[in-house]
Amino acid sequence: MLQVRASSAFLPSTSSPSPPSSSQAPAPAPFRLSGKSQRRGGLIAVPQASRVARRSVMAAAGAAAAAPAAAKLEDADALIDSVETFIFDCDGVIWKGDKLIDGVPETLDLLRSKGKRLVFVTNNSTKSRKQYGRKFETLGLSVDEEEIFASSFAAAAYLQSIDFPKDKKVYVIGEEGILKELELAGFQYLGGPTDGDKKIELKPGLYMEHDEDVGAVVVGFDRYFNYYKVQYGTLCIRENPGCLFIATNRDAVTHLTDAQEWAGGGAMVGALLGSTKQEPLVVGKPSTFMMDYLAKKFGITTSQICMVGDRLDTDILFGQNGGCKTLLVLSGVTSLQTLQSPDNSIQPDFYTNQISDFLTLKAATV
């Protein structure tokens, strides 16, 4: 039977800090693994940047409940002219699996011809920005690496933003994209796909060791997920003082193919949530971390951004939390029936079938 040492870090945090302004995040506090000032009742205090990443989705959804119903997009030109930047989700908006959605190249060309900045943000952490650049190229799209922001990159950028110690390690439950971004950022890591073949042979007295220098566990979508990874990550989070539990996203489903939906990264995150009883710091959508990062990097005012996505609880909330205009496309996971259901409290500013409607709606208004 596995023996696990008890730790005060088993207890979940009950603090509920007030969220910062949606248009600008406060400067991140330095990361500290120890020190009495960092502890509250046996818990490790979370840096300010962590609290930004933990912004309450429930609060945002509650605010959205009072919003008017989404309007069907009728005048594409008016929306295009009202913003400087379009942020696009990828899965379900630009492509499904490895298949490009009809009309995407022409739509992106139209927006670029009007001088609009285009940014592509995905919660899928299996690839690095460079790898996503190659996917865009394979699909015939000319997109610069600097225009791509994946949650794998967000995890590394978040660690940099809190001055995560370079002498500490990151345990990764996820795929190659996270490893590549951590390496580019100069962080030590272990785990990833190589742990996919590891098994635990349970027998009386078995005790599983773990690296006490792990200061963060990053969990993303992982097709090599297994019990070894769950137990190793659990031990690090529970027993290493101050160890962070970071999730690239909590998406319920993902588009691995264009034929059906597949269990998403939220399934892997949920396993660690269940075993540690701790809420993760989510760096992907709908957390505002990436929005704040993009706004600072490009010098964008968030009111001059339109967020385009196919998911209400990630893409649209991401835009709303950041103070952007929002456009839901029905080419991905959300149907019109779901959008208009009385049970749905998340309403975008506009909705349309797919982004290529920019072309036809433009023609209809000329």
The Cα–Cα gap between 152 and 94 comes to 19
Catalytic residue among 74, 84, 147, 209: 84
**Residue 224: burial class (beta carbons within 10 Å; 0-12, 13-18, 19+):** middle
CA 76 and chain centroid, separation: 28
Among 303, 356, 333, 307, smallest CA distance to 149 is for 307
CA atoms within 13 A on the CB side of 50: 25
Structure tokens at 229: 């990874």
The Cα–Cα gap between 302 and 284 comes to 17
Q: Is 212 a catalytic residue?
A: no
**Residue 27: burial class (beta carbons within 10 Å; 0-12, 13-18, 19+):** exposed
Contact call for residues 269 and 250 (beta carbons, < 8 A): yes
Percentage helix, strand, coil, to 5, in the chain? Answer: 40, 15, 45
Positions marked catalytic: 84
